[in-house]
Amino acid sequence: MMENELKSFDFFEVTSSDTELITRREALRRSGLLAGGVFFAPAIVGFLKGCKATTRDYDYIVFNSDQVDALRIIVDAIVPETDTPSATQVGVPAFIDQVLSRNSSKQTREEFMVQFDAFLEDAKGEFGKSFHEADSQRQLEYISKLHAQAVEPAEDPVDRTLSGFIMWMKQLTVVGYFTSEPGATQVLRYAAMPGPYKGCVPFEEVGRTWAT
Amino acid sequence: MYINGLAKDDLTYDAIVVGSGISGGWSAKELTENGLNTLVLERGRNVEHIKDYPTSMLDPWELPANDDIPHPDRQHYEKQLRTGYTIKESTKHWWVKDTDQPYEEIERFDWIRGYHVGGRSIMWGRFSLRLSQMDFEANAVDGYGVDWPIRYEDIEPWYTHVEKFAGISGKSEGLSQLPDSHFLPPMELSCVELELQKSMKQKFGRVLTNPRMANLTQPLNGRGQCMTRNLCMRGCPLGAYFSSNAVTLPAAAATGRLTIRPHSIVHSLEYNESTGKVSGVHIIDELTGEMKTFHSKIVFLNASAIASAMILLNSRSNRFPNGLGNDSDQVGRNVMDHHLQIGANGTIEGFEDQYDWGRRPQGFYIPRYRNVGKDKREYVRGFGYQGGSGRQGWHRAIAEAAIGSDLKQIAATPGPWSVGMMAFGEMLPHEDNRIFLNFEKLDKWGLPTAVFDVKFRDNEYKMRVDMMNDAAEMIEAMGAKNVSMYDNKGAPGLGIHEMGTARMGRDPKTSVLNKWNQIHNVPNVFITDGACMTSSACQNPSLTYMALSARAANYAADLVKKGDI
């Protein structure tokens, strides 16, 4: 067996591909994301680096400019600017464009766009104007409501199309963000050359979750 | 080292080694160090240590989206992708494209491989375990397969020989079923693994030991100590794990007697009826398509279990109409791998003030305990476990009920500890588990392609019940919560431990190689890759290939020096 042999199997597995559609808490639980399954995450990485990945320098392939505006609002609701950068600031919208254009099947890409359109359409109904033109507080409430539907299943069955889309976005955003240099090094702890392995150290010596 | 191929080829050598992976590298080192001018034929490109590891120093954010390969490229790796971990943007250059290297499957077989100097010694898992007397006696005791023509004492000095030079870290346990190696200091276990170790000892009398692996925990012969980056598969710029490129080929080159010829696809071996020996190795130049023949006193086949068998089967002559050395009709039969992807995992409460430092490049090991000593099961042979532990990482933020600044906080705080283990089970030799050549379906160089007809059988399936339940039982016994079991049958080949296609044995009627890895009726051809294995045991096999290669090469070199061959 090869390098990382164990890490590829179930008890180490995150999902078969982080770009796959996973929309529901149940699905996440089954895939091991919730209970006990995830650790030693495979070195999931992003292409984000420097200015190359900023929206200014990146030519979008999948999204038009209105969609990019909406995308930025959504990813920044998921990972906002605090004392560390926001998702948009580290280039997550470009990351998502590249995952969809370069690394996804046509079917996955189309499914994403169908859900994205449905999201924007529903928001327009709600706000009476385009999502990206709405009041920022209302944008955030709208996203939070859908997210809550996804992670806290209601008693009664509800239409999960939109909340599923938010979870898909959340997954892409989290992966894109924490594999970026700022996400990996400022929010998490990253060591390119850790040195000799120590099996057990006081948590304070590391201080934050390891990026890899 | 001298790379042959640009200038005019020298056509005659003392020895030819086919393949430059784990076993070929050792054959080349031992033959050259014994004074033999040696040509290594490698079907793929050259790979120079450090210089040709293009992704080895890249940080996560320097690789394209997710380290995933572009979607359209997936069509080239249909079979190589089956492992789920081999084909990444950072590693895909080490693996064959299935579109260039087709094979057929009567039963699914995952033939996962790479063609370049160093072969799979660059990408291997590095787990290094000795076989034991129990393993060498197993076929004789229960009657499956044929008896190994050697016993543990025959190989023991050669294990020590290769371990000292390769550098194997691990901890001595004094177990008869898993003999200790000549060890460098072990890498540590995590606090949770230490708990599991204690619980297993108290409640089951079973051993959990530190990883036994070809990663250096101290500098060795100018190679650096492992810095626990866990990026081994990209090639290690520190030379901190064993590969042909970092270890054996440089040693062979230092003798001044090594020539490596990349891009040299072996077509067949030429049998000379008057001498009763092989007189030449026919190759196809991968780049030019030109055929050439090289000559030598002895030939070592180290092309990998499947490819070495394919070369024999394609080497047809009047004397050997069914393939060189195939009087027994055993060439290509008894294909074995390990059966795996089965085990359990669970979460551990407590230890929240503890974390680990570094990315240990391999997991703990639980040596075989089934059908050992007084334990008797309704199947024969047994299994070992590899496992690991760790705290849940930032991915957990996806499923947690938070977005915004709370999400960052959750991601930055590691979750609870988990521990898990996966079994590696022995697969019995079975004549009907075989590969053969399809002479109608040729590859792009005009060579016949392989057809696989290999499957797991009753003994493997019976064993898997224990493989799954025992894992859950041991994890539960330490007080783990959320214990879950899994069983993904997969298919043979997924272990990337294929072996057995030209087995060693005592009787030329039922085996291909003798106790010196020499073809019974063709004394100047030796096979020391996985093809030679008479049984699979449950241990990762590479260390045994190294030891058998060194042993056979020294024996062969003696014959050459004495003029006996």
How many whole angstroms from its chain centre is CA B34? 26
Calculate how close chain A gets to B281, using CA atoms only, in Å.
Answer: 30
A203 is a domain residue: no
Closest residue in B to A174 (Cα–Cα): B398
pLDDT digits (tens, 9 = 90+) for B238-249: 999 999 999 999
- Cβ neighbours around B376 below 10 Å, total: 10
Note the pLDDT of residue A3.
38
Q: How far apart are CA A80 and CA A61, in angstroms?
A: 24
Name the residue facing A47 among B61, B361, B394 (closest C-beta): B61
pLDDT digits (tens, 9 = 90+) for B294-330: 999 999 999 999 999 999 999 999 999 999 999 999 9
User: Domain span at residue A155?
Assistant: 44-187
Residue with tokens 């690789």: B63
Name the residue facing A34 among B341, B391, B399 (closest C-beta): B399
- Cβ neighbours around B27 below 10 Å, total: 35
pLDDT digits (tens, 9 = 90+) for B145-199: 999 999 999 999 999 999 999 999 999 999 999 999 999 999 999 999 999 999 9
Note the pLDDT of residue A160.
78
Asked whether the beta carbons of residue A6 and residue B404 sit closer than 8 angstroms, the reply is no
Quick check: B134 and B384 in contact, CB under 8 A? no
Q: How far apart are CA A130 and CA A64, in angstroms?
A: 14
Quick check: B538 and B499 in contact, CB under 8 A? no
Question: What letter represents residue B85's amino acid?
Answer: Y
The confidence band for A20, taking pLDDT boundaries of 50, 70 and 90, is: very low
Note the pLDDT of residue A56.
54
B56 touches chain A (CB under 8 A): no
* Tokens (6 digits) for B297: 């006193």
pLDDT score of A4 more than 90: no
- Return the SS3 of B385: strand
Calculate how close chain A gets to B75, using CA atoms only, in Å.
Answer: 11
| Pairing assessment for the beta strands B104-105 and B291-301 based on DSSP bridges | unpaired
Name the residue facing B62 among A2, A35, A49 (closest C-beta): A49
Closest residue in A to B471 (Cα–Cα): A11
Q: Mutate which of B62, B85, B171, B193 to test chain A, going by most A C-beta atoms within 10 A?
A: B85
Residue with tokens 């393993």: B135
Calculate how close chain A gets to B231, using CA atoms only, in Å.
Answer: 8
Q: Taking a contact as any Cβ pair under 8 Å apart, which residues of chain B between 95 and 134 contact chain A?
A: 112, 120, 123-127
| Pairing assessment for the beta strands B342-348 and B481-487 based on DSSP bridges | antiparallel
A109 is a domain residue: yes
Residues of chain A in contact with residue B120, where contact means CB-CB under 8 angstroms, are 2
Q: Taking a contact as any Cβ pair under 8 Å apart, which residues of chain B between 195 and 224 contact chain A?
A: 217
Q: Mutate which of B111, B395, B487 to test chain A, going by most A C-beta atoms within 10 A?
A: B395
The confidence band for A45, taking pLDDT boundaries of 50, 70 and 90, is: very low
- Return the SS3 of B473: helix
Calculate how close chain B gets to A145, using CA atoms only, in Å.
Answer: 11
* Tokens (6 digits) for B267: 């077509």
- Return the SS3 of A92: helix
Asked whether the beta carbons of residue A45 and residue B233 sit closer than 8 angstroms, the reply is no
Asked whether the beta carbons of residue B61 and residue A44 sit closer than 8 angstroms, the reply is no
Q: Mutate which of B364, B394, B417 to test chain A, going by most A C-beta atoms within 10 A?
A: B394
Task: Report the percentage of chain B scoring pLDDT > 70.
Answer: 99
pLDDT score of A32 more than 80: no
In chain A, how many domains are there? Answer: 1
Calculate how close chain B gets to A121, using CA atoms only, in Å.
Answer: 23
Name the residue facing B65 among A14, A40, A46 (closest C-beta): A46
B350 touches chain A (CB under 8 A): no
Question: What letter represents residue A127's amino acid?
Answer: F
Question: What letter represents residue A161's amino acid?
Answer: T
Closest residue in B to A14 (Cα–Cα): B395
CA Rg value for chain B: 23
Q: How far apart are CA B516 and CA B231, in angstroms?
A: 36
- Cβ neighbours around B21 below 10 Å, total: 31
Supply the mean pLDDT for chain A.
Answer: 79
pLDDT digits (tens, 9 = 90+) for B208-262: 999 999 999 999 999 999 999 999 999 999 999 999 999 999 999 999 999 999 9
Note the pLDDT of residue A152.
80
Asked whether the beta carbons of residue B66 and residue A103 sit closer than 8 angstroms, the reply is yes
Calculate how close chain B gets to A57, using CA atoms only, in Å.
Answer: 16
The confidence band for A11, taking pLDDT boundaries of 50, 70 and 90, is: very low
pLDDT digits (tens, 9 = 90+) for B406-425: 999 999 999 999 999 999 99
Question: What letter represents residue B6's amino acid?
Answer: L
A65 is a domain residue: yes
Residues of chain A in contact with residue B190, where contact means CB-CB under 8 angstroms, are 199-200
B232 touches chain A (CB under 8 A): yes
Lay out the sheet containing B383-391: strands in order across.
B364-366, B383-391, B417-425, B342-348, B481-487
Asked whether the beta carbons of residue B389 and residue A178 sit closer than 8 angstroms, the reply is no
A26 is a domain residue: no
CB neighbour burial string for B297-308, b if at least 16 within 10 angstroms, e if fewer:
bbbbbbbbbbbb
State mean pLDDT over A77-85: 98
Name the residue facing B412 among A16, A199, A209 (closest C-beta): A209
Name the residue facing A2 among B233, B390, B405 (closest C-beta): B233
- Return the SS3 of B294: strand
State mean pLDDT over B19-42: 98
Note the pLDDT of residue A206.
98
A75 is a domain residue: yes
- B499 torsion bin: left (phi>0), alpha (psi -120 to 50), beta (else): beta
Q: How far apart are CA B486 and CA B471, in angstroms?
A: 10
State mean pLDDT over A187-191: 98
- Angle A161-178/A92-102 helices, nearest 10 degrees? 110
Q: What angle do CA A169, A173, A177 make, to 5 degrees?
A: 180
A168 is a domain residue: yes
Contacting residues for B68 by C-beta, under 8 A, at least 6 apart: A17, A19, A99, A103, B88, B89
Name the residue facing B61 among A36, A99, A179 (closest C-beta): A179
Note the pLDDT of residue B13.
97
Asked whether the beta carbons of residue B399 and residue A193 sit closer than 8 angstroms, the reply is no
- Cβ neighbours around B276 below 10 Å, total: 12
A48 is a domain residue: yes
Calculate how close chain A gets to B189, using CA atoms only, in Å.
Answer: 5
A198 is a domain residue: no
Closest residue in B to A212 (Cα–Cα): B359
